[in-house]
Amino acid sequence: MSRPTASALTQAEEKPLTPLGRSVQKYLSHLVIERGLATNTVDSYTRDLNRYEHYLAEQGVIDAHRITTKHIRDFAVSLATGNVEVKPLSTRSIARVLVAVRGAHKFWLIEGITTTDAAATVAPPTPAQRLPKAISLERVQKLLEAPDSSTATGLRDRAILEFLYSTGARISEVTNVDLDDLSRTRATANSSQDAEATEPLATQVPAVVRLFGKGNKERIVPVGSYALKAIDDYLVRARPELAAKGKGTPALFVNARGSRLTRQGAWLILKKACDRAQLAEEISPHTLRHSYATHLLEGGADIRVVQELLGHASVNTTQIYTKVTAHTLREVFAAAHPRAR
């Protein structure tokens, strides 16, 4: 898979830059070229740092070495209060922006652009921890069965939804999957034979898919039989028809014009399925990822295994799902036990 590039970064290069703008540009280039961050991540950093640069310009600061800690703290306050043109940001969004700001200042110090790190003592606010939203298996099944399998787009939609729930993939990972990233189930010879066996036993190796997560980090994830069946139906009965309308693409999932399906297109597919299934609650692609992790843990999966499947760099990120299952257990206990209340 090719190294990601940032569309916002390219656009920024077309504008005349101040000294501060050049420093920001250098940091963004570092994120793309040296750290290999995903396009969506770099675009987010670009928006946040453009906002920071705009605020500083209003304060008369157009060079990185003139930024003080007070400037950064005042900027954080402005994010929380907003103004007539810009709405105030949530604590979580402010924390995200300040992570970008802190990263830039640390980079500028290392590169010798500044002599001090003005952001070193500015800690991002701690957002209130929100438990991931998961839905029941019954609701997942209603969602997966919603697409109209009599049409090419319906077969594709069913395959995408099954794939999302079967792999726990992020939506951007799903839309980036190529045909060659999917490895089929195959039979392998089992060396252990009983005394009466005359032929090696054949065991099934599950189908797997190669996913590229945050930072372009690669991981291999099993694909369940239901998802594989839906994908096979799509590949045989739908993809040729859809792909014929385009110029040819290695993408596993294509849109009605024969091009690679976009993240926005996948969102619309999920929304349409929710409407057909008459699911009132708001369900996003990440809801299926959360449900995947929660259902695995409820089924007895080891948290370290779930961490690897989700592509989390730290098990601490995965541990929030153990709180979800504990929360569910408390709800069941409160509702079912005669002396719970």
* Choice among 102, 105, 289, 295 that is catalytic: 289
CA distance 19 to 59: 15
Asked if 165 and 140 touch (Cβ cutoff 8 Å), the reply is yes
Long-range contacts of 198-204 (CB under 8 A, 24+ apart): none
* Choice among 96, 133, 214, 237 that is catalytic: 214
| Residue 210, amino acid | R
Task: Kindly give the interhelix angle for 91-111 and 39-58, rounded to the nearest 10 degrees.
Answer: 80
- Does the annotation mark 96 as catalytic? no
Beta strand residue intervals within the chain, DSSP E: 182-183, 186-190, 201-205, 207-212, 218-223
* Choice among 71, 102, 170, 290 that is catalytic: 170
Asked if 18 and 57 touch (Cβ cutoff 8 Å), the reply is yes
Please choose, from the candidates 57, 49, 68, 45, the residue with its C-alpha nearest in 3D space to the C-alpha of residue 114.
68
- Does the annotation mark 214 as catalytic? yes
CA distance 61 to 129: 35
DSSP secondary structure letter of residue 68: -
- Does the annotation mark 312 as catalytic? yes
Question: What's the N-to-C CA distance of the chain in angstroms?
Answer: 55
Asked if 138 and 327 touch (Cβ cutoff 8 Å), the reply is no
Residues 6 or more apart in contact with residue 140 via CB below 8 angstroms: 165, 288, 291, 295
Phi, psi of 89 (to 5 degrees): -90, 155
- Does the annotation mark 71 as catalytic? no
Asked if 132 and 319 touch (Cβ cutoff 8 Å), the reply is no
Asked if 146 and 276 touch (Cβ cutoff 8 Å), the reply is yes
- Active-site residues, by number, are 170, 214, 286, 289, 312, 321
